Each structure stands twice: as structure tokens, then as C-alpha cells.
Amino acid sequence: MKKMLFTILILSCRSIAHASEATHRAAAEQMLQVTKAERNIAGFYAQMGAMIEQQFKQMDVPEDAIPILAKFQKKQMDVMKEELSWQKLKDEVASAYMKICSEDEIREITKFFSSPIGVKYVDKIPELTQEMMKSVQSRIPSLTEKMSKIGEELRADLEKYDEANRTQP
């Protein structure tokens, strides 16, 4: 009898935990919908495409090589859209919120983003992101130059290492 009661108790707890996770996930998914996360991901792709295009423009490439760069850009964007599609990310993003925020916190966040000021903020996210991307793009030439110098240092150090190891018996 005690075993049967214990088993019933365990099964009840499991179903409560499962129901709790289901409502937690539903709350997280509702928050993602209210915050227009899918739309923001689509905007991210467009901005990344613009960044890649900007990088190509900064490269000293002959005019007749531009179609090659365009083909490369399209391949990059296609892979990014496939690997970072909303369908692939949605469950992971919801799970991340569930891990970090309680169901009550998620409901409060959703409540904020459903309010007039929250809706206004969500609607301005693409514009805000675009402004931030402009800032990042303006830093790319300096970043590229610094990374190139680091790459040259690495290559020189590896050549020294290779040379030192070739001369050893």
C-alpha cells in the first residue's frame, strides 16, 4: 500500500512539473511573440547583409570581381538564414529565457512589452539596432587593420617557430 501511495505521489509530482514547464514555455513563447523576436531576427539578417556588403566595398577589389563577392555574400547569407532561422532558434531562445527567468518574471516582462511604452520600445528595436550597426560598421576599418596586424604578428611568430624547429637535430 505504501509503495502504491509513493508511486501515485511521484507520478503526481511529475505531471505537476510537466504542467509547470509547459506553462513556463507557453509564457516564454508569448513573450517572444509580444517582443516580435521573429521580426527582429529577420531585421538582423538584413543588417548583417549590409555589413558584409560594406566590408566588400572597403576591400580594394577590381570592379569585375564584384560579382564573385556578391555570390560569396549570398552564400554567407543563405547559410546564416538557414542555421539561424527562427524555426531553429525559437525553442532555444524560449529555453534560455526559461532558464534565466521564472514564469512569473516572464509574465511581468510580457506585461511590460504589452504596455503602450513597451510596444513603442519593441517597435523601435529595428531602428535602434540599425543605429548600433552603423556604429559598429564605422569601427570595422580600424578593427580590420588591427586584426590584420595581429595576423601578421602571428604569421611571423609561426615562421620563427617553424624555422627554430627545422634547425634542431
Per-residue pLDDT at 7: 55
Grid look-up 501515485 returns 8
Q: Is residue 148 part of a domain?
A: no
Chain centre to alpha carbon of residue 163? 41
What's the total number of domains in the chain? 1
Structural contact between residues 50 and 80, judged by C-beta atoms closer than 8 angstroms: no
**Cell numbers of 5, please?**
501511495
Per-residue pLDDT at 109: 95
Q: Is residue 156 part of a domain?
A: no
Per-residue pLDDT at 144: 82
Percentage above 70 pLDDT, the chain: 86
Q: Is residue 47 part of a domain?
A: yes
Structural contact between residues 160 and 75, judged by C-beta atoms closer than 8 angstroms: no
Strands (E), the chain: none
What phi, psi does 60 have (nearest 5°)? -90, 85
Q: Is residue 75 part of a domain?
A: yes
Instruction: Render pLDDT for 72-94 as a digit per residue (tens, 0 to 9).
Output: 888 888 888 888 888 888 999 99
Structural domain for 52, as ranges: 2-140
Grid look-up 529595428 returns 126
Q: Is residue 149 part of a domain?
A: no
